[in-house]
Amino acid sequence: MKHNAMAIDVRTRIIYSALAIMTITFSIGKDLMAQTNTSTVVKNIVLVHGGFVDGSGWEGVYKTLKKDGYTVAIVQNPTISLPDDVAVTKRAIAALNGPVILVGHSYGGAVITEAGNDPKVAGLVYITAFALDKGESVSSLLKDPPPGAPVPPILPPQDGFLLLDRAKFPAAFAGDVNPEAASFMADSQVPWGLDALGGAISQPAWRTKPSWYLVTTEDKMIPPDAQRAMSKRAGSTVVEVKGSHAVYVSQPQAVAHFIEQAATGALAAVQEKAAAGVLAAK
């Protein structure tokens, strides 16, 4: 009797595992059918900017992705609080038809880590970004930098918002950007809310979604070693490039092609990750 009960339990677990995989596969297939291109490539890209800047910095990346046939949405997140930025990002996701690749730069990484739990998100792409874990915030990571790491030239807060020192902005944020463009970025900064920096992650999407991480080796805002540590923890597919924190501005084609790699591999990776989770739960 005991042997029969064990056999029934094993069969039951196998059936439930198969049903779980079938459900995931059906859901993904249904989303793909809603797209104009029903291939295994995700054709919707949502770009989320970080602190001190706005969505216009994605222009070069946007143009390359559009030329290559992708539907692209650029989120103008206000960077006042993390919940607000997540809500704005989710509205952009909801407006698209089918699966989405969610891309975040810098603080935008925190936003996509939370917003990426949306069921339409097939994969996450971090562009020298904060891939935070549960309970972490940008401020919790910034307050404990690695020894010898460059210190971002953040000015004292004014009315609950932060800015970078304009004179030091180009070297710290945009070292490989055209000097005239870097100067414009410094003078057109968007104040970054302390509440946004302090926003803690409730559930990191990279635990259930595949992720890709572009490490910039000349970054003076997020130390390269910190980027490597976060990407390793998230189990991301990693590529390293020689570039500044503003690599999405200075090397838009390279960034766009990296995003396209994620768009090509995300759906297969989702199924593999889901199947691995089912097996691990046995």
**Could you state, in order of their start, the residue ranges of all structural domains in the chain?**
35-281
What does the pLDDT look like over 176-209, one tens digit per residue?
Answer: 999 999 999 999 999 999 999 999 999 999 999 9
What count of residues does the chain have?
Answer: 282
The three-class DSSP label of residue 72 is strand
What pLDDT is recorded for position 24? Answer: 37
What does the pLDDT look like over 35-61, one tens digit per residue?
Answer: 434 468 999 999 999 999 999 999 999
- Phi and psi at 257, nearest 5°, equal -65, -35
- Sign of the dihedral through C-alpha 136, 211, 153, 85: negative
What does the pLDDT look like over 232-262, one tens digit per residue?
Answer: 999 999 999 999 999 999 999 999 999 999 9
Identify the band that residue 16 occupies on the pLDDT scale cut at 50, 70 and 90.
very low
pTM: 0.84
> Is the pLDDT higher at 91 or at 271?
91
Specify the residue for token string 């924190």. Answer: 245
Given a cut of 90, whether residue 112 has pLDDT beyond it is: yes
79: left (phi over 0), alpha (psi -120 to 50) or beta: left
Report the half-sphere exposure of 31 (CA within 13 A, side-chain side). 23
The three-class DSSP label of residue 263 is helix
What pLDDT is recorded for position 25? Answer: 36
For domain 35-281, the CATH architecture is 3-Layer(aba) Sandwich (3.40)
Contact 248, 214 (CB under 8 A): no
CA distance 147 to 259: 32
> Which residues are CB-contacts of 62 (< 8 A; sequence separation ≥ 6)?
47, 72, 74
Identify the band that residue 2 occupies on the pLDDT scale cut at 50, 70 and 90.
very low
What pLDDT is recorded for position 280? Answer: 52
